């Protein structure tokens, strides 16, 4: 699960290049509305033995007004096998009033831009 958490945080780092630096810091530092992990699950498919390195893939799935899902897959370098799969829901939360909040428009725009760019890279096309 720790690897999935690292992949989720890397996703937020990747979003930072598409955002105003102050808006990104406010979101990621949860100064106003920010992300909070609501639920997570993992299925272990095969054992991992030490030493090994895992590559974790992640992507945003469903996006709703106040939350989005992420899915993950972990692949062992040693065996080349998928060793784990998982998913989670991240809720946007207003830390000032302690309630769920809509995903801020600038964050949503950055998420869509990142997703579109990533799909283009996978297909080998350019804008």
**Model confidence, pTM:** 0.83
Residue 106 has pLDDT above 70, yes or no: yes
- Compute the average pLDDT of residues 32-47: 95
pLDDT, tens digit (0-9, with 9 covering 90-100), for 58-101? 999 999 999 999 999 999 999 999 999 999 999 999 999 999 99
Average pLDDT over residues 7-23: 90
Percent of the chain at pLDDT > 90 equals 69
Task: Give the pLDDT confidence score for residue 39 in this predicted structure.
Answer: 97
What's the fold here for domain 2-123?
A: Thiol Ester Dehydrase; Chain A (3.10.129)
Rounded to an integer, the average pLDDT of 13-19 is 89
Q: How confident is the model at residue 28 (pLDDT cuts 50, 70, 90)?
A: confident
Partners of 74 in beta bridges: 56, 84
Q: Quick one: three-class SS letters along 23-70?
A: HHHHHHCCCCEEEEEEEEEEEECCCCCCCCCEEEEEEEEEECCCEEEE
Contact by Cβ (8 Å): 33, 82: no
């Amino acid at each position: 699960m720790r690897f999935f958490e690292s992949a989720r945080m890397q996703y937020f780092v990747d979003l930072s290049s598409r955002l105003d630096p102050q808006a990104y810091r406010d979101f990621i530092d949860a100064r106003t509305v920010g992300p909070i992990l609501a639920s997570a699950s993992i299925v272990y498919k095969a054992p991992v033995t030490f030493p090994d390195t895992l590559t974790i893939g992640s992507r945003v799935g469903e996006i709703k007004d106040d939350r989005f899902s992420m899915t993950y897959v972990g692949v062992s370098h040693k065996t080349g096998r998928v060793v784990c799969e998982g998913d989670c829901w991240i809720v946007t939360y207003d830390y000032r009033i302690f309630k769920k909040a809509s995903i801020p428009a600038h964050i949503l725009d950055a998420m869509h831009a990142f997703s579109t760019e990533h799909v283009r890279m996978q297909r080998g096309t350019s804008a």
